Amino acid sequence: MNRSPDHPREHCGLFGIFGHPEATKLTYLGLHALQHRGEESAGIVSSDGQQVYSAKGMGLVGDVFDEERLQTLPGHLAIGHVRYSTTGSSHIRNAQPLLDDVPQCSIAVAHNGNLINTTDLRTQLEARGIKFQTTVDSEIILQFLAKSAPHELEAKLIQCVRELQGAFSLVILTEQALIGVRDPHGFRPLCLGKVDRAWVLASETCALDLIGAEFVREVEPGEIIWITGDGMRSLKPFAPSDIKPAFCIFEHVYFARPDSIIFGEQVETVRYRLGKELAKEHPANADLVMPVPDSGNFAALGFSHASGIPFAWGMVRNHYIGRTFIQPHQAKRDFQVRVKLNPLKSVLQGRRVVVVDDSIIRGTTSKLRIATLRQAGAREIHMRISCPPTRHPCYYGIDFPSRKELIAANHSVEEIRSFLGADSLGYVSVEGLLRAVSGKKEHYCTACFSGRYPLPVPEASDKYVLEKQC
């Protein structure tokens, strides 16, 4: 999926498999299913029990790997990663999995999330003479564990995860083990599955579905899953009082695929409920309800069912846009928007339309989109947004623009409506958002909407914090 530049970006998808003769191929497929979580680089590390093999590159999974390259990654054990950079700039040396390749003690780490005590930990490690090779926070985890003999690794990993602060779902590979870790807040998802007799770890269950694996359960917040030839073990390195779930609710709003189960429920169902909440909180007099495809689809359906206003497809999506495409010099300002979603005049002409979208970040794309809908003949446009106004940055692994670029951080809803050129604008409330999920309300992070951060906000935190030190 080619994501809008006017959306916040997830920065990683993880996959791991142990005990399968086609481990690398299944990892490649798993990463394909997780491509929406990171489009800038992709990597796979595999092991045959004796030696590890690594390949990574910039671009989409299908661009980085072909049949020939996959054959350079033998073994029954593999981990993979897709990345959009949140810490460290987009560069091949920052692509993951990160690997410390030492015979009998090799270790590879793939990370989804953002650490918030990066500066302290890196300073401590550098004081011990460790030289960092990359500018990503994930290397702190690799260096913590590097050169551990197999019998020391468990104790070192437990010590490491207790020192990390922030968001971290991890998959780790050694010559003979696959390990999954989720931080005690469980910010980012990680699930456990099984295919034939092989164990699988993945950011989202849609990756299990693609390879025909059964969904066993989610890795719990604060849990380590340790898989070797002797089977699977669950370790709980944190005291129960340290386990404080803060599931990223934006995963349900936008990031995760609707066909995934995360934080105990189907993403599609939550989006549908968000649409119902929106219809209750911000009703509209209109002739039809349409989504901004694809992330607005299920919320629009929920709005339509709750309001009784018919659902219609008012825009057609072009699925075949590459990451870059040649555009005419004379391209109109709305070219980039129109090339992805073309309005349907036959549906829109003379109609009062409710348009459901998942979020507004800068507002520039929404403004152009509303203009194209008007040109296509829509008489009234009522924008409905299935999350609250996004007013605060995220420090736990999602890349929002700076506060000055977040339109809702600096403008009232009425000012945003006027900027967009909509006839009305309504966002679901934080309470409505929390009603749409079935877990305990206090188990979700809503900081980018509410400003209530579940962990202290690091000073001067941005994604290049490590580069500034180098």
Size, binding site for ligand SF4 by CB under 6 A: 11
Minimum distance of ligand SF4 from residue 3's CB (angstroms): 15
Q: Specify the stretch interacting with ligand SF4 by CB under 6 A; choose among 284-292, 380-388, 390-398, 428-436.
A: 390-398
Q: Which CB, 226 or 396, lies closer to ligand SF4?
A: 396
Among 166, 396, 406, 430, binds ligand SF4 (CB under 6 A): 396
Q: Specify the stretch interacting with ligand SF4 by CB under 6 A; choose among 27-35, 168-176, 243-251, 409-417.
A: 243-251
Residues 249-268 that bind ligand SF4 (CB under 6 A): 249-250
Among 187, 199, 303, 427, binds ligand SF4 (CB under 6 A): 187
Contact (Cβ atoms closer than 8 angstroms) between residue 113 and residue 396: yes
447 near ligand SF4, rule: CB under 6 A: yes
CA distance linking residue 446 with residue 329, whole number of Å: 42
Other Cβ atoms less than 10 A from the Cβ of 237: the count is: 18
295 near ligand SF4, rule: CB under 6 A: no
The set of residues, in sequence order, having a beta carbon less than 8 Å from that of 324 and lying 6+ positions away, is: none
Contact (Cβ atoms closer than 8 angstroms) between residue 389 and residue 415: no
Contact (Cβ atoms closer than 8 angstroms) between residue 287 and residue 306: no
78 burial via Cβ count (<10 Å: 0-12, 13-18, 19+)? buried
448 near ligand SF4, rule: CB under 6 A: yes
Q: Which CB, 100 or 399, lies closer to ligand SF4?
A: 399
The set of residues, in sequence order, having a beta carbon less than 8 Å from that of 377 and lying 6+ positions away, is: 345, 348, 349, 350, 351
Q: Which CB, 66 or 442, lies closer to ligand SF4?
A: 442
Report the relative pairing of strands 77-83 and 41-47 from DSSP bridges: antiparallel
The set of residues, in sequence order, having a beta carbon less than 8 Å from that of 269 and lying 6+ positions away, is: none
Q: Specify the stretch interacting with ligand SF4 by CB under 6 A; choose among 26-34, 100-108, 234-242, 442-450.
A: 442-450
Residues 305-334 that bind ligand SF4 (CB under 6 A): none
The set of residues, in sequence order, having a beta carbon less than 8 Å from that of 219 and lying 6+ positions away, is: 169, 180, 181, 182, 190, 191, 192, 201, 225
Q: Which CB, 306 or 360, lies closer to ligand SF4?
A: 360
CA distance linking residue 186 with residue 75, whole number of Å: 30
**Where in the sequence numbering do the catalytic residues fall?**
12
Q: Residue with the closest Cβ to ligand SF4?
A: 394
Contact (Cβ atoms closer than 8 angstroms) between residue 292 and residue 314: no
387 near ligand SF4, rule: CB under 6 A: no
Minimum distance of ligand SF4 from residue 169's CB (angstroms): 12
Minimum distance of ligand SF4 from residue 261's CB (angstroms): 18
Residue 333's region, left for phi above 0, alpha for psi from -120 to 50, else beta, is alpha
Residues 397-436 that bind ligand SF4 (CB under 6 A): 398
Radius of gyration of the chain (CA): 23
Q: Specify the stretch interacting with ligand SF4 by CB under 6 A; choose among 84-92, 242-250, 362-370, 372-380.
A: 242-250
Minimum distance of ligand SF4 from residue 430's CB (angstroms): 11
Applying CB under 6 A, which residues contact ligand SF4?
187, 248-250, 394, 396, 398, 445-448
